[in-house]
Every structure is written in structure tokens, then in C-alpha cells.
């Protein structure tokens, strides 16, 4: 019954079609339809339904979608092929009967139309691109966008940026398929990130024009760095006629520290990223490096795959800068037989390139870091105790910091001896003894001799204590014994001079004060700034200390606590001798009177800072002696000295002495100095003194320096 209904509908449909198209043999065509098999009629009906729904010629898959499940079972039951092949064969038969036509194919697909639905003369093959064709176009667009060959992930990211509805797995499948069929060419590979390793390019594009100019991944960047580093090392070894040395992770780190993938701060924060990268280069499917592990050595060495052990120089290698500095210190100690300075270590580093610090820090910073008991782990654990210390900071002697391979008593005693030796050198015993003869004030000369004797005695006691208590190596002990003898000779010569020195009947103290009034660098800088224009640009006291430490005497600060202390005086390990600073400033930038008195005072005082040995000279009969004493008190700045200067201004019989005392009292900060100038400008018996006082009154607050 169903077949009869289908035939009746076909006859009516054909009659309508003949009427519309002017077909004259409608009766014959109807007889053709009536002669069709049921299976053929099912396919023809599905074709017509597909033509109407799509309004165009359709392919086999689109026709199959219009066949009901019941009819599909009938077709598959009748024929042994799969459904698409069955439909295609039946369509071929219907084309022969001129009931179906094909306008052509596209992308390996053929399209069909029913003569009862579509116009044979006005139907073209539809322009329908396959998914492969679309993916190929997408790859081409991505290449143009990135300006280089692309990976799977690049194409997927490009499609997402264009908001295209793609399935990543299908896209990757099509790219791999087109690479096998030759539509895409693989022109390179990348390492790392797990996002595809092949670089694809449409086969009709020039590979050289689209090769990446820079590495695309961090692992690729490290790989390129390793290749360049090994090439340089191999070339250098070839020139020198030696075997190249293996690479260390530190060698690679020094090269990649400023690459764009990770900043220096990120690499220092997580050093493992570089370690992992180098390790991956030796464990990937296509390894670039091979690992060399030596017994007894913690550090790993790396050479390119294919380089044999016998072609490599396995000299001394260090895992990090701490080990490098440890080896450099060890060699310097063995060579010199004593604790070593930065300069000694620098000599060792310059003689062996393998000891060069990998990081950008200098030798001093590398030594300071290696000698610390703790280090920053950069992994959130904070500071950690160093398990193996190869460098020990023994101490400082002057400007030199000494390092050793351990904290042995021999090393400590060596540095202590160097400190004593430097104090002896700075004291200049022989020069001081000779200078006593040029001192015009006998009281000042005796005070200086007593001070020298005290210094020699103190240093002699230090040497004795060092020789008695400390364990010393033979060389240091011999040098200490020699210094002890020189001190004893200098002490005898000083005592002999004191025994023969007359005091001109003056009453002098039985002991001498060794206290030295001092300034911090900032206090000294504030004094210098008004006279030294370049000092206005000095904002760092360290820079000022560097400028002045060889010009002005510095003494150890007894109040020194820590250089990080908030109190400037407690933060300074050394202070400037105030009197020496005043004398230097006066000679350098002072006026005529200021410079003259500074020259007199520096000749008389030397290192004497006890005003009690100057005051008796104010009563001397010689006005030259009184002038020299006034000049000394001007730079010693003491309350008792200011009182005596004030008396000299009013009572001394010599006008030159009164004028010098007037300047000295004002320079030393005497109280009421301006009132004294007013009085002397009007009432002094000498016109030169009155004129001098008037000039001082007309000057500004810095007049005492400028006069």
C-alpha cells in the first residue's frame, strides 16, 4: 500500500513538473517513475527534499540526512555497501535515466539535483569549502599575523583572537594530516612548554622568509645560548691549541641573566628555572647536552651530545661563586703563606679564568658574600646557615680586609700584627724625633716627646702581648720580634731626648693627655662647605671621607657601635682629628692671618693636643714665642686657652701679639668676641690693631677664616 501511495505521488509530482517545464512527454516520464524500484524512489525523494531545504544542489551526506531511519534500514538490508555508497550508486543510475543531474564537484565532493526541483541549466556547483581547506587558510592567516612559521598553539590562539568557533583537537588533527599530505611543510622545531614542537608553513610559502628570528620558548633561548657558548669555547680552545672545558650551569646563567624571557630578579628569585632548563636539554627526545658526573664532585658538567670525554679538558671547576672564591683564596694563601687581601685574590683570578665570578659583582663583593656564615636561600626559607665555609674574614688592618681558609690563631695574630705595624708606621717615630729640633717652644717640644714616649710604650706593650699570648707562624713571629726591637730603640732615644731637654724654668704637667678632640665626617663637611665650592655637591659622607682621609689625620672612634647606628658619632669607625682638620682647612682656604697662624701652629703642635703644654709659653719674654703659643691655642679650642687669649688681647705689651690674640680668640669661638672687636677698634693704643679690629667688624660671620 505504501509503495502504491509513493507511486501516485510521483505521478502527480511529475505531471506538475512537466506542466511547469513544458515537458511534452509527460505520460512517458510518468511510466518511467512507475517503473522505479522502491529503493530508487526513496533516494530520489530524499534528493528532492534536500534540494528544497538547501535551495541548491546537495552532496551525498546531505541527501542521507533526509532519509528516514526506516528507509535507511531498508536500503542497507537490500544492498551490502554502506549508506553513502548505496546513495551514490542509485544517484548514478537516476542520472542515466535523466531524472537527476550533477552540476559538478568541489573539494572531492560531487553535488546532485533533481530535475523536478532544480533548473538544469541554471544550477551551479556550490562553493562549499571543506574543513581542511578552512584550516589551511587559517594557518596562512596566522603566519601572516605572526610574521613567521607557526605551531599548533599559535594557530589556536589566532583563531581565538578572531573569535572563530574551532575545536582545538580537530584543528590539530587537520594540521598534522596536511603535514603528511604535503599541504603544510615542517620547517623547524622548538623546545619546551608542551604546546607543540613543529613549526608549520604552507608549502607554497618561502621557508627562509618565515623562519623565526628569535627563540620562541625559554628552553629554546637556553639551548641557543648553550650552542653559542660552546662554539666560542671550542673556537678559543682551537686557537690556543688546547681542549675545550665543559660548561657549568653557572656559565649558562651568566649569559642568560638579561634575556627577555625572565628578568635578572626573577632568575635570582627562582634559580631552579635555569637548572631545570639545562637538565631538560639533556633528557628531552632530542637531547642537546649530556651530563658528566665525577666521583667526589658535587657539581655537574655539561658537554654537547656527541662530544667525547677524551675531547674535553676536565680541569678545576666550581659550582658557584662561593666555591670559586674559596679556591682563589686557597691558592693565594698557599702562594703567599699568610692571610690575603682582595688584591692577592684578584691576582689568582686573573691567572685562571675558571675562578672568575659568574655574577656581575666584583671580587670584593664575591669575597664578602663567600665569607658570610649565612646566605639567602631565595626560596622563602629566609637566611640559612652555610654548611661549608671556604672563606673566612679575619679582620681589617687599615684599608685592607684580610681573608683566610679558616679562623686559625695564626691568621688572627697576623692581622693583629699588621694593625700594630700600621700604627707604628703612622706614628713615624724617627721623623717626630727629628722634628723636635725645629720646635721653637720648649714646652711644646717636651709635651710632644712625652706623647711620643706614651705611644711607643703602648705599642710595645701590644707587641709583647701578641708575642706572649698568640700562636704565630714563624715569619710573623720574626717580624714581630723585629718590630719590638725597633720600638725599644725608639723608646730609648725618646727618653734620652727628654732627659736632655730643658724646660726654660717653666712649670709643666707630669703627664700628657692623649685625648684627641674629633669631628665626624658630616661635622667636618659643614665647616668646609663655605670655602670649597665643590663640597656643595657632596651629599655622601663616604665620598668626603675618600677625599680627605689622606689629607687629615683620622683616629679610631672609641664610641663606635655599628655603622648602621642612627647616631652618626656611634656609626663612624674613625673620626677626623679636629685640630688637624682646622689646620688643613686654614692652610687650604684661609686668608693671610688665618694661613700664617695655621703654619705656625702645625710646626709647633705636631700630634700634641694638650693645651697645658702651650699655656706656659704665653708668659715667655720673646714675642716670637708668645706669637707661636697664641697660634697653637687658636687651633686647640679649649676654655682655658680662650681665657688666656682674652687676657693677651688686653694685657700683652706687643701690638703684634695683641692682634694675633684678637684673631685667635674670635677664631676659637671665644665668648663676646664681637664686643671685644668694637672695644679694640676704638680704644687700642696701636693704630694697626684698631684698623684690624675695624676690618673684622665689617666682615661677615666667616671673617675669621678670610682674614
Residue 23 grid cell? 515537458
Amino acid 693: pLDDT: 82
pLDDT in tens, 360-405: 567 888 888 888 877 665 555 667 777 778 888 888 887 888 999 8
| DSSP assignment letter at 245 | P
Q: Find, among 97, 96, 103, 95, the residue nearest to 120 by Cα.
A: 103
Compute the distance between CA of residue 297 and CA of residue 356 in angstroms, rounded to an integer: 19
Among 144-153, 374-383, 531-540, the range with the most confident prediction by mean pLDDT is: 144-153
Which of 94-103, 123-132, 221-230, 540-549 shows the lowest mean pLDDT across its residues? 123-132
446, 498 contact by CB (below 8 A): yes
578, 519 contact by CB (below 8 A): yes
pLDDT confidence of 16, banded at 50, 70, 90? very low
- Rounded mean pLDDT of 98-114? 83
∠ CA 700-701-704, nearest 5°, is 95
Amino acid 1: pLDDT: 44
pLDDT in tens, 665-701: 888 888 888 888 888 888 888 888 888 888 878 765 5
Amino acid 502: pLDDT: 67
- Rounded mean pLDDT of 479-501? 88
Sequence-distant (6+) residues with CB within 8 A of 619 are 506
CA 117 to centroid of chain Cα atoms? 79
The residue ranking higher by pLDDT, 693 or 72, is: 72
pLDDT in tens, 633-668: 989 988 898 899 888 888 888 888 888 888 888 888
pLDDT in tens, 332-359: 888 888 898 988 888 888 777 677 776 6
Amino acid 165: pLDDT: 74
Which residues are bridge partners to 383 per DSSP?
Answer: 376
Amino acid 3: pLDDT: 47
pLDDT of residue 44 exceeding 80, the answer is yes
pLDDT of residue 128 exceeding 70, the answer is no
Residue 267 grid cell? 632568575
pLDDT of residue 442 exceeding 80, the answer is yes
318, 354 contact by CB (below 8 A): yes
Amino acid 461: pLDDT: 92
pLDDT of residue 130 exceeding 70, the answer is no
Compute the distance between CA of residue 587 and CA of residue 501 in angstroms, rounded to an integer: 30
CA 689 to centroid of chain Cα atoms? 65
Could you give the 3-state DSSP secondary structure of residue 68? coil
CA 411 to centroid of chain Cα atoms? 33
Amino acid 360: pLDDT: 58
Which residues are bridge partners to 188 per DSSP?
Answer: 199
Compute the distance between CA of residue 206 and CA of residue 195 in angstroms, rounded to an integer: 24
pLDDT of residue 134 exceeding 80, the answer is no
CA 477 to centroid of chain Cα atoms? 44
603, 439 contact by CB (below 8 A): yes
Which residues are bridge partners to 340 per DSSP?
Answer: 403
pLDDT confidence of 141, banded at 50, 70, 90? confident
pLDDT confidence of 578, banded at 50, 70, 90? very high
pLDDT of residue 106 exceeding 70, the answer is no
pLDDT in tens, 587-614: 988 888 888 988 998 898 888 988 898 8
Q: Tell me which residue has cell 692577592.
A: 344
CA 174 to centroid of chain Cα atoms? 47
Compute the distance between CA of residue 531 and CA of residue 13 in angstroms, rounded to an integer: 118
- Rounded mean pLDDT of 284-299? 71
Compute the distance between CA of residue 638 and CA of residue 643 in angstroms, rounded to an integer: 9
Amino acid at each position: 500500500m505504501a509503495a502504491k501511495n509513493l507511486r501516485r505521488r510521483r505521478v502527480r509530482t511529475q505531471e506538475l513538473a512537466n506542466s511547469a517545464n513544458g515537458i511534452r512527454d509527460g505520460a512517458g516520464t510518468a511510466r518511467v517513475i512507475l517503473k522505479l524500484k522502491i529503493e530508487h524512489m526513496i533516494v530520489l525523494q530524499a534528493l528532492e527534499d534536500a534540494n528544497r531545504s538547501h535551495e541548491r544542489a546537495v552532496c551525498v551526506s546531505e541527501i542521507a540526512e533526509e532519509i528516514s531511519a526506516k528507509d535507511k534500514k531498508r536500503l542497507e538490508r537490500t544492498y551490502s555497501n554502506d549508506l553513502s555508497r548505496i546513495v551514490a550508486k542509485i544517484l548514478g543510475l537516476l542520472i542515466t535515466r535523466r531524472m537527476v543531474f550533477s552540476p559538478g564537484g568541489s573539494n572531492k565532493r560531487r553535488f546532485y539535483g533533481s530535475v523536478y526541483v532544480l533548473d538544469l541549466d541554471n544550477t551551479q556547483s556550490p562553493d562549499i569549502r571543506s574543513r581542511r581547506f578552512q584550516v589551511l587558510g587559517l594557518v596562512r592567516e596566522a603566519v601572516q599575523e605572526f610574521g613567521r612559521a607557526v605551531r599548533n598553539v599559535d594557530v589556536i590562539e589566532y583563531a581565538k583572537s578572531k573569535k572563530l568557533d574551532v575545536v582545538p583537537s580537530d584543528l590539530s588533527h587537520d594540521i598534522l594530516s596536511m603535514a603528511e599530505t604535503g599541504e603544510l611543510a615542517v620547517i623547524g622545531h622548538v623546545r619546551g612548554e608542551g604546546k607543540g614542537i613543529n613549526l608549520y608553513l604552507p608549502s607554497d610559502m618561502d621557508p627562509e622568509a618565515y623562519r623565526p628570528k628569535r627563540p620562541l620558548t625559554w628552553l629554546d633561548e637556553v639551548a641557543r645560548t648553550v650552542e653559542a657558548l660552546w662554539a666560542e669555547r671550542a673556537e678559543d680552545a682551537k686557537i690556543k691549541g688546547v681542549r675545550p672545558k665543559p660548561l657549568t650551569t653557572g656559565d649558562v646563567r651568566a649569559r642568560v641573566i638579561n634575556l627577555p624571557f625572565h628578568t635578572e630578579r626573577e632568575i635570582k628569585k627562582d634559580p631552579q628555572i635555569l637548572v631545570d632548563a639545562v637538565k631538560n636539554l639533556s633528557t628531552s627526545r632530542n637531547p642537546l647536552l649530556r651530563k658528566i658526573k665525577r666521583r667526589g664532585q658535587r657539581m655537574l658538567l655539561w658537554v654537547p651530545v656527541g662530544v667525547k670525554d677524551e675531547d674535553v679538558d676536565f680541569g678545576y671547576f666550581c659550582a658557584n661563586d662561593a666555591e670559586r672564591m674559596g679556591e682563589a683564596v686557597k691558592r693565594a694563601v698557599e702562594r703567599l703563606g699568610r692571610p690575603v687581601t682582595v688584591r692577592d685574590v684578584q691576582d689568582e683570578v686573573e691567572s685562571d679564568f675558571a675562578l672568575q665570578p659568574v655574577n656581575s659583582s666584583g671580587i670584593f663583593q664575591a669575597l664578602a658574600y663567600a665569607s658570610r656564615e649565612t646566605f639567602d636561600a631565595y626560596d622563602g626559607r629566609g637566611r640559612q646557615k652555610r654548611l661549608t665555609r671556604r672563606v673566612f674574614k679575619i679582620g681589617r688592618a687599615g684599608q685592607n680586609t684580610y681573608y683566610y681558609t679558616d679562623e686559625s690563631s695564626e691568621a688572627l695574630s697576623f692581622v693583629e700584627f699588621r694593625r700594630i705595624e700600621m700604627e707604628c708606621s703612622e706614628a713615624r717615630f724617627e721623623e717626630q724625633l727629628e722634628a723636635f729640633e725645629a720646635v721653637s717652644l720648649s714646652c711644646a717640644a717636651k709635651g710632644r716627646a712625652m706623647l711620643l714616649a706614651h705611644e711607643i710604650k703602648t705599642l710595645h706593650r701590644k707587641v709583647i702581648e701578641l708575642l706572649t699570648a698568640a700562636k704565630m707562624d714563624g715569619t710573623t713571629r720574626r717580624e714581630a720580634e723585629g718590630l719590638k726591637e725597633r720600638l725599644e730603640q725608639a723608646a730609648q732615644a725618646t727618653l734620652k731626648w727628654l732627659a736632655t731637654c730643658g724646660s726654660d724654668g717653666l712649670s709643666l704637667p707630669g703627664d700628657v693627655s692623649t685625648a684627641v678632640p674629633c669631628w665626624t665626617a658630616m661635622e667636618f663637611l659643614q665647616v668646609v662647605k663655605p670655602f670649597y665650592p665643590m663640597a656643595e655637591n657632596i651629599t655622601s659622607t663616604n665620598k668626603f671621607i675618600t677625599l680627605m682621609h689622606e689629607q687629615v689625620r683620622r683616629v679610631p672612634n672609641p664610641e663606635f657601635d655599628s655603622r648602621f647606628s642612627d647616631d652618626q658619632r656611634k656609626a663612624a669607625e674613625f673620626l677626623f682629628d679636629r685640630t688637624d682638620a682646622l689646620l688643613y682647612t686654614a692652610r687650604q682656604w684661609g686668608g693671610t692671618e688665618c694661613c700664617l697662624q695655621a703654619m705656625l701652629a702645625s710646626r709647633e703642635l705636631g700630634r700634641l693636643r694638650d693645651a697645658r703644654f702651650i699655656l706656659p709659653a704665653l708668659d715667655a719674654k720673646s714675642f716670637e714665642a708668645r706669637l707661636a703659643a697664641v697660634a697653637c691655642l687658636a687651633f686647640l679650642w679649649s676654655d682655658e686657652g680662650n681665657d688666656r687669649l682674652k687676657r693677651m688681647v688686653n694685657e700683652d705689651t706687643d701690638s703684634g701679639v695683641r692682634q694675633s690674640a684678637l684673631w685667635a680668640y674670635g677664631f676659637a669661638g671665644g665668648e663676646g668676641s664681637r664686643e671685644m672687636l668694637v672695644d679694640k677698634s676704638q680704644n687700642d693704643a696701636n693704630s694697626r690693631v684698631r684698623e684690624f679690629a675695624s676690618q673684622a667688624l665689617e666682615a661677615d660671620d666667616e671673617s675669621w677664616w678670610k682674614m
